[in-house]
Amino acid sequence: MVSISSLFLRTARNFSKDGSKVSTLVPRTHGIGGFDEFKHSLLLARTFASSSRRNEINKVFPSAAEAIGDMKSGSTLLSGGFGLCGVPDTLINELEKNPHIKDLTCVSNNAGVDGGGLGKLLATGQVKKMIASYVGENKTFERKYLTGEIELELTPQGTLAERCRAGGAGIAAFFTPTAPGTWVQTGELPTKYNADGTVAQFSKPREVREFGGKAYVMEEAIKGDYAFVKAWKADPLGNVQFRYSGQNFNGAMARNATVTIVEAEEIVPVGGIDPASIHVPGIYVSRVIQSTAEKGIEKRVNAKGPEEAVSALGSGETANKRERIVRRAAKEFKDGMYANLGIGMPMLAPSFVDPSVEVQLQSENGILGLGPYPQKGEEDPDLINAGKETVTLNKGAAVFGSDESFGMIRSGRIDLTILGAMQVNMFGDLASWALPGKIKGMGGAMDLVSNPEKTKVVVTMEHTDRKGNPKILKQCAFPLTGRRCVSRIITELAVFDVDFKKGLTLVEHAEDVTVEEIKSKTEAPFNVSPNLKPMEL
């Protein structure tokens, strides 16, 4: 005879999420039970499923001061943002008011600008160490690093995004194709200077392994104690939605830290964000506050036609040289391509592309389908490109986080990248991010050249430097961005194709330039193509 109790449900386990015990019900297959247990189980089931019960979870804090109230000196702080876009300024401003919280290790793509973003914490002396990809135009950041006041762990932008993502995903380390043979891998990056400008400490060398005949660098994950995150919308459960390129590093960092604090422009009721629009589920978020800081724009740039693009290249002979380079670079775009453009001359090349050629432009801060610069008055602080310039989106564009953006790049989904350079050698080694005594950071360049087998890397640069010294060399004198990665070099004098084993071949020359003149201004030896022709413009 079957026991009545075997037809009932039993309590399988209890767990505590918000301080109350919740029971999960499963079919009873053995033991003794009765109607009391059955009714109790059904009551618990109804309680767990009710919206009124669920809405008792409330992660909203009344102020930034209360949200950071338990923060301690020596913490590792992850801070979202790219330039001034998507920066959690309300939380940073509150931390600035608490100078006793110091000796921080801050992890962010960059440190904002002087007087903005993390730049404020650098000024107050609360930062002991920065882990970043870019120093940029932040003079306080550069000065404090070069005089030994702070430590700096420069990290390629895509590697930084992935280290943060991995730290939140329970992955201790990973291998990346970014940066083999560079200072990042060999351990030659100065991480700390003495006050007199001499190097006090260098970075640690990275392990390198070969997979499928290609070199990969091992990088360890970053784990944060606190994460400051800027969102467009958040609800009391901690669910988060970002807006356009404001997503950048915010998503990866939100998923990482022990305590994630989100400042949101809008705090909406539970259900106020469509489930399909939630970028970070509430399980990752500890606290939510109302964002009160005004959003900033670092570089307001407006729409340019071809004539205006030319005016942006400078004046006189310099402008003539650069126009020739940009017009020739525009010929590299082919219909249906996915392309990524570096700052400077590469960003102006689309102005000269034939309208019949459709190209999808990708920006490593999280945009695919990048549109032109906006008309004056239509700038959006949540729409910027990798150069921190205001942009627009084309119809059909997609936005995403920096970690996904660099996944596209490293995996070779980008057909073409056009970059500036300081030097290129005869076998395609590229130097583009550091000069003696000056450190700007590599940003995303090392990642962009990490898969030259699938992504064609084109360099646009003037043939010689300001002193007339060649920039196409036998060996690069400056720190490398990548080895054996440049496929084509475009200057105002010539176009070279690069074979990673055989070297350079001159394939085009400017109409008023002879091969002998090109040789006189090029240190590296090169072959001349039997099909040498005038430069396409």
pTM for the model stands at 0.88
Count helices and strands (H / E) in the chain: 15, 30
Please tell me whether residue 1 adopts helix, strand or coil conformation.
coil
Q: Which of 254, 199, 258, 202 is nearest to 231 (CA)?
A: 254
Domain with CATH 3.40.1080.10 in the chain: 64-290, 306-534
**Tokens encoding 48:** 């767990």
The full DSSP string for 109-128 is: S---BTTBTTHHHHHTT-EE
| DSSP code per residue over 462-487 | -SB-TTS-BSEESS--SPPSBSS---
pLDDT at 54: 54
The structure tokens listed for 357 are: 């050629």
Q: How far apart are the first and last CA of the chain?
A: 92
Q: What is the pLDDT of residues 497-526, one digit of tens each?
A: 999 999 999 999 999 999 999 999 999 999
CA–CA gap between residue 374 and residue 372 (Å, rounded): 6
82 touches 388 (CB < 8 A)? yes
Q: Give the separation between CA 292 and CA 264, rounded to whole angstroms.
A: 9
Q: Look at domain 306-534 and name its CATH class.
A: alpha beta
- In contact, 296 and 116? CB cutoff 8 Å: yes
Does residue 97 contact residue 128 with C-beta atoms inside 8 Å?
no
Instruction: Quickly count: other Cβ atoms within 10 Å of residue 395's Cβ.
Output: 6
Mean pLDDT by 10 residues, the chain (537 residues): 35 35 37 44 44 73 98 98 96 98 97 92 97 92 94 98 98 98 97 95 98 98 98 98 98 98 98 98 98 95 74 76 94 97 90 92 97 94 95 97 98 97 98 85 96 98 96 97 98 98 98 96 98 94
* Whole-number pLDDT of residue 536: 87
Query: Cβ contacts of residue 294 below 8 Å, gap of 6+?
Result: 89
Q: How many CB atoms lie within 10 A of CB 72?
A: 12
Q: What pLDDT shows up at residue 195?
A: 95
Tokens of 148: 């030994």
Is 440:476 a contact under the CB 8 Å cutoff?
no
- Using alpha carbons only, what angle is made at residue 164 by residues 163 and 170, rounded to the nearest 5 degrees? 85
Length of the chain measured in residues: 537
The CATH class that applies to domain 64-290 reads: alpha beta
Q: Are 86 and 382 in contact (CB under 8 A)?
A: yes
| φ and ψ of 222, to 5 deg | -105, 140
C-alpha–C-alpha distance, residues 61 and 93, integer Å: 16
The pairing of strands 423-425 and 416-419 is unpaired
Q: Is 37 a catalytic residue?
A: no
Report how far apart, in Å, the C-alpha atoms of 219 and of each of 104, 172, 179, 359 are.
22, 9, 11, 33
Which among 88, 90, 134, 129 is positioned nearest to 111, based on CA atoms?
Answer: 134
What does DSSP say about strands 76-79 and 199-202: parallel, antiparallel, or unpaired?
unpaired
Contact 323, 315 (CB under 8 A): no
Catalytic residue among 142, 151, 364, 492: 364
Distances (CA, A) of 490 to 313, 345, 476: 16, 11, 17
